[in-house]
Structure 1
Amino acid sequence: MSHPAANYEEIRAEIGRRFPTLSRQLQAIARFALERPHDVALDTVAEAAGKCEVQPSAMVRFAQTLGYGGYSEMQRIFREQLVQRSSSYRERIATMRRAEPNLSRPKAVLHDFVSDSIAHLTHLEEHVTAERLDDAVAIISRARCTHVLAQRRAFPVACYLSYALGQLELPVSLLDGVGGMLREQVHAIRDEDALIAVSFRNYTPEVLELTADAHRRGVPVVVITDSAVSPLARSATVAFDLGDDSDRPFRSLVEPICLAQALVVSVGHHLTGTTRAKAKRPARRGK
């Protein structure tokens, strides 16, 4: 990169691109920067280093690796992103929690999940770009068949995508590995098909391996994961990184399900628009 990233989207992409080549210490800082951008924007270099459990000099070295003259120059990008954001739902959530201190245990659990879901959906809208959505919709719309791959806690997202794309009367295959045939199912995918792969930390090794195999064979891959430095993102044609929720005992599925619904409905709009455009074309007259 001849010049350092000029905005937040560029720096996220650059961190993801460089991540495999970074030292273990710099990889830890990269994860911190992507997962806690508010801290990078607002903390001093010493405070951020303390949270990342590294020396301040390592934070400076990370910024210089990305092409910046120092940490403060990189920090400016994160601060600009923070200023551009809409008013924070997290502040509203904190207020709600202070206002309801005596909720019963089940009600408190529901309240906690609802509050976190509001924050997740706000994050989703702010960080998913129109370009990525358009690219993913185009890949799914032109595919001969769309195959959906996920395991463990990400599997409900794959089930929904398989069901909903089928309701659009699109050829779709849920790669569920019944009978131990997952590897064979993935190897049957052709380059005119598309693969949607979903995985979050701790990533399912088989999903990573088989997605990488499909990508190497030229299959367009749409990835839904939790970080720009996710190993699954390396195999993506288009990647949606939704943020790392690994500090929570249960990962909320609200964000990936909402994204999945948006993709399905957008594909439906795209296909309807294409059909109408074809119908409006004048028929050719015979000679």
Structure 2
Amino acid sequence: MDKREVDRLIEEQYPNLPPILQRAARYAIDNPKAIALNSMRSVAAEAGLQASAMHRLARQLGFDGYDAMREVYRTWLAEGTGSFAARASELQKRGAHDQAESLLAELVQAEFRNLQGLLEPGTQRAIAGARDVLAQARHIYVVGLRSLMPAAFYFNYACGMFLQNTTLLSGIGGTFADDLRRAGKEDALLVFSYAPYARDAVSAVRFAHAQGVRVVSVTDSAVSPIAAPATALVLLANATPSLFPSVVPALAVAQALAALLVAGGGKDSLRAIARSEAQLREFSVYHQDARS
């Protein structure tokens, strides 16, 4: 079990927990670093609870006790929540000790675990739900800022082959939010955002939600600031020893959503793709090898 799964369990069970355990669960959601770093007694005191409440919460979530739950938070803290400078420093330490091969292995193994999460039934249902929202939209606005720009760009680029209703909010010339002025209840906003959450991405979600736009959020936590307003929520693991949280699972979701939209697009999509290919040939976009 990883922290994302713990967050999901808390979210699912929270409404039915007794008040004491709700307070403990709320503290765990709001203060994950404290759980990772502090003893059960210290955490309980900070939360204004008896130590037994944290133990009971851990048992409620399927752990043998608090220490087992705490280990999940420790792993989460070690893998993904340090500052960029701290993560870079750790990478350089490993480089100085000639650990390139072991680091590469860890990077690949982390991505393998991240992508395995996409095969979980709940995640597959979430991706299918996201596809349904996007397929029904009059217009799709797409956001992915900073390190997650590749996921947003890919989705917009791929959909441009067979759809004419997508807009990438890129922020060129300082115009990031301008296209959202036209967004309304028949539209959808697809947003990719991880901690630390880009301010403009969060603002776009809040604005779009207030306008009645259906939001599809691809993010890393059930308590992400873009999670609550979402019509469809896809939660991803993104742990990696690298500098930034992994972009690989977000790219995988972008590819999956584009593929699912093609799969359900019927003959209209096929005709649009044929026209797009003809236009690309007209402009000689791709290099053609001479064949004898």
Place the TM-score, normalised by the shorter chain, in its bin. 0.5 to 0.7
Secondary structure class of the residue paired with 1:197 = strand
Write the distance in 2 (CA, Å) between the matches of 1:176 and 1:211: 15
Write the distance in 1 (CA, Å) between the matches of 2:166 and 2:223: 28
Counterparts of 1:80-119 in structure 2, within 5 Å, are: 105-119=99-113
Question: For residues 71 and 193 of structure 1, do their structure 2 counterparts lie closer, same or farther at Cα, with a shift above 3 Å needed?
Answer: closer
Other-structure match for 1:183: 177
One of 136, 140, 143 as aligned partner of 1:146? 140
Secondary structure class of the residue paired with 2:177 = helix
Kindly indicate whether the alpha-carbon contact (under 8 Å) linking 2:238 and 2:249 is maintained by their aligned counterparts in 1.
no
Kindly indicate whether the alpha-carbon contact (under 8 Å) linking 2:142 and 2:169 is maintained by their aligned counterparts in 1.
yes
Other-structure match for 2:189: 195
Write the distance in 2 (CA, Å) between the matches of 1:273 and 1:9: 39
Write the distance in 1 (CA, Å) between the matches of 2:190 and 2:206: 12
Other-structure match for 2:165: 171
Q: Is 2:201 aligned against 1:212?
A: no
Structure 1 unaligned residues grouped into runs of 5+: 1-6, 41-46, 80-89, 91-102, 277-287
Write the distance in 1 (CA, Å) between the matches of 2:234 and 2:178: 26
Q: Is 2:249 aligned against 1:255?
A: yes
Aligned residues: 229
One of 32, 39, 42 as aligned partner of 1:50? 39
Question: For residues 206 and 53 of structure 1, do their structure 2 counterparts lie closer, same or farther at Cα, with a shift above 3 Å needed?
Answer: farther
Write the distance in 1 (CA, Å) between the matches of 2:188 and 2:141: 6
Kindly indicate whether the alpha-carbon contact (under 8 Å) linking 2:239 and 2:245 is maintained by their aligned counterparts in 1.
yes
Q: Is 2:11 aligned against 1:12?
A: yes
Q: Is 2:158 aligned against 1:161?
A: no
Kindly indicate whether the alpha-carbon contact (under 8 Å) linking 2:8 and 2:222 is maintained by their aligned counterparts in 1.
no
Other-structure match for 2:235: 241
Question: For residues 13 and 243 of structure 1, do their structure 2 counterparts lie closer, same or farther at Cα, with a shift above 3 Å needed?
Answer: farther
Write the distance in 1 (CA, Å) between the matches of 2:140 and 2:100: 40
Letter of the 2:28 counterpart: I
Question: For residues 247 and 24 of structure 1, do their structure 2 counterparts lie closer, same or farther at Cα, with a shift above 3 Å needed?
Answer: farther
Other-structure match for 2:94: none
CA positional deviation for 1:274: 9.6
Aligned sequence identity (%): 25
Write the distance in 1 (CA, Å) between the matches of 2:121 and 2:38: 25
Question: Cα deviations across residues 1-29 of structure 1 (Å, max 9, x unaligned)?
Answer: xxxxxx9956434559x9xxx99986451
Write the distance in 1 (CA, Å) between the matches of 2:7 and 2:148: 27
Secondary structure class of the residue paired with 1:201 = coil
Give the TM-score taking structure 1 as reference length: 0.65
CA positional deviation for 1:146: 1.1
Question: For residues 154 and 127 of structure 1, do their structure 2 counterparts lie closer, same or farther at Cα, with a shift above 3 Å needed?
Answer: farther
Write the distance in 1 (CA, Å) between the matches of 2:23 and 2:170: 34
Letter of the 1:29 counterpart: A
Q: Could you say what the CA RMSD is over the residues aligned between the two structures, in angstroms?
A: 4.2
Letter of the 2:189 counterpart: L
Kindly indicate whether the alpha-carbon contact (under 8 Å) linking 1:15 and 1:229 is maintained by their aligned counterparts in 2.
no
CA positional deviation for 1:238: 0.8
Question: Cα deviations across residues 108-137 of structure 1 (Å, max 9, x unaligned)?
Answer: 443222111111111232264343222211
Write the distance in 2 (CA, Å) between the matches of 1:27 and 1:226: 18
Letter of the 2:60 counterpart: M
Letter of the 1:209 counterpart: S
Letter of the 2:184 counterpart: R
CA positional deviation for 1:241: 1.6
Letter of the 2:11 counterpart: R
Other-structure match for 1:99: none
